[in-house]
């Protein structure tokens, strides 16, 4: 076989390999990114029309301890699906804190309403922490109680003060409420907060392209929130593309999918519920 024939054969083989790789990547993108979003979108359409945001339910669902009945300190992290078509893709997250013997809960969160008119994105408010987010029930993702919570509260307040985007909000790719929640969680690694794959914006950079995972149990690398990868003991492995996260959770085993959230084995921790 001549030299030219060998070179041609090698070139053809290389082209075939690149073609197979391209097909595999396209198939994987469709399976793990496009299909889950389509499935969640179908569920959204089948659920019927939503109440207008101005009339949507914002009442408490009664899962937070009442301050009068629970004098110890608390730190809780909540998540609820966003309003309207954005609920197909994302959840809104927030922190709730209550020092020992406090008479009310304080919510720390980022809200986009009014930012374009000059309002700050970081908001602090008092009242029940477990209210529906425009009709969607919240779940508790993580919690500290007693001395651990009391020690964490000053660090959370300091992290909120140091948040680098106090007057900026962008639903995609960030910074948004999930960027803020991830930032606060890094200040309290004992929470081991595992933000769900549907927390769009959690990977938006705070300072530079590298940071701790929100759980504090690994590292994430991001290109402006548009693409990145994260590895952590709590989160497993997540690949972020165009703000959508997909990956594999190992504790316990589950898929982490955009739109659908976590699909797999459940455990008692409320943050591990399927669909988040």
- pLDDT tens string for the chain (276 positions)? 566 665 566 566 767 788 888 899 899 999 999 999 999 999 999 998 888 999 999 999 999 999 999 999 999 999 999 999 999 999 999 999 999 999 999 999 999 999 999 999 999 999 999 999 999 999 999 999 999 999 999 999 999 999 999 999 999 999 999 999 999 999 999 999 999 999 999 999 998 999 999 999 999 999 999 999 999 999 999 999 999 999 999 888 999 999 999 998 765 444 444 556
Nearest in space to 170 (alpha carbons), one of 213, 215, 224: 224
* Domain membership flag for residue 157: yes
Residue 19 lies in a domain: no
**Alpha carbons 9 and 36: distance in angstroms, whole number:** 40
Q: What's the rounded Cα separation, in Å, for the pair 28 and 255?
A: 14
Burial class for 228, CB neighbours closer than 10 Å (0-12, 13-18, 19+) = buried
Instruction: Name the residue among 204, 209, 119, 196 with its Cα closest to residue 170.
Output: 204
Evaluate whether residue 12 is within a structural domain. Answer: no
Res 268: pLDDT: 45
In a domain, 2, yes or no: no
Which candidate, 265, 264, 244, 267, places its Cα nearest to that of 36?
244
Decide if 43 is inside a domain.
no
Q: How many domains does the chain have?
A: 1
Q: In whole numbers, what is the pLDDT of the chain averaged over residues? A: 92
Residue 26, domain member (yes or no) = no
Contacts of 133 (CB under 8 A, 6+ apart): 58, 80, 81, 82, 83, 92
- Contact (CB, 8 A) for 96 and 129: yes
Best CA proximity match to 210, nearest among 229, 188, 185: 229
Cis peptide before 169, with omega less than 30 degrees from 0? Answer: no
User: In this predicted structure, what is the pLDDT of residue 242?
Assistant: 92
What pLDDT is recorded for position 10? 56
Residue percentage of the chain with pLDDT more than 70: 91
Asked if residue 130 belongs to a domain, the reply is yes
Which element (helix H / strand E) includes 9?
helix 3-29
Cα separations (Å) of 130 from 40, 79, 86, 138?
24, 9, 21, 6
Q: Smallest Cα–Cα separation from 138: which of 196, 52, 182?
A: 196
What does the pLDDT look like over 99-144, one tens digit per residue? 999 999 999 999 999 999 999 999 999 999 999 999 999 999 999 9
Does residue 14 lie within any of the structural domains? no
Range of the domain at 183: 53-272
Query: Terminus-to-terminus CA distance in the chain, angstroms?
Result: 59
What's the order of all strands across the beta sheet hosting 244-250?
210-212, 218-222, 227-232, 236-241, 244-250, 253-257, 261-264
By the 8 A CB rule, do 72 and 146 touch?
yes
Residue 73 has a pLDDT of 98
């Amino acid at each position: 076989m001549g030299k030219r024939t060998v070179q041609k054969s090698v070139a053809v083989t290389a082209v075939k390999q690149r073609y197979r790789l391209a097909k595999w990547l396209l198939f994987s993108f469709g399976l793990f990114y496009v299909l889950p979003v389509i499935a969640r979108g179908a569920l959204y359409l089948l659920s019927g029309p939503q109440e207008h945001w101005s009339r949507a339910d914002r009442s408490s669902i009664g899962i937070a301890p009442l301050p009068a009945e629970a004098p110890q300190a608390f730190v809780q992290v909540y998540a609820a699906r966003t309003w309207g078509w954005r609920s197909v893709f994302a959840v809104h997250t927030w922190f709730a804190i209550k020092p020992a013997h406090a008479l009310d809960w304080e919510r720390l969160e980022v809200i986009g309403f009014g930012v374009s008119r000059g309002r700050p994105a970081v908001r602090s408010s008092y009242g029940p922490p477990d209210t529906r987010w425009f009709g969607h029930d919240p779940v508790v993702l993580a919690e500290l109680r007693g001395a651990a919570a009391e020690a964490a509260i000053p660090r959370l307040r300091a992290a909120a003060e140091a948040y680098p985007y106090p007057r900026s909000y962008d639903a995609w790719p960030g910074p948004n409420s999930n960027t803020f929640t991830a930032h606060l969680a890094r200040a309290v690694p004992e929470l081991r907060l595992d933000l769900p794959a549907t927390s769009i914006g959690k990977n938006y950079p705070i300072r530079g392209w590298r940071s701790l995972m929100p759980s504090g149990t690994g590292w994430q690398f991001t290109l402006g929130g548009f693409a990145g990868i994260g590895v952590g003991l709590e989160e497993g492995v997540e690949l972020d593309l165009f703000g959508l996260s997909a990956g594999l959770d190992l504790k316990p085993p589950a898929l982490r999918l955009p739109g659908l959230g976590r699909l797999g084995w459940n455990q008692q921790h409320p943050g591990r519920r399927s669909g988040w």
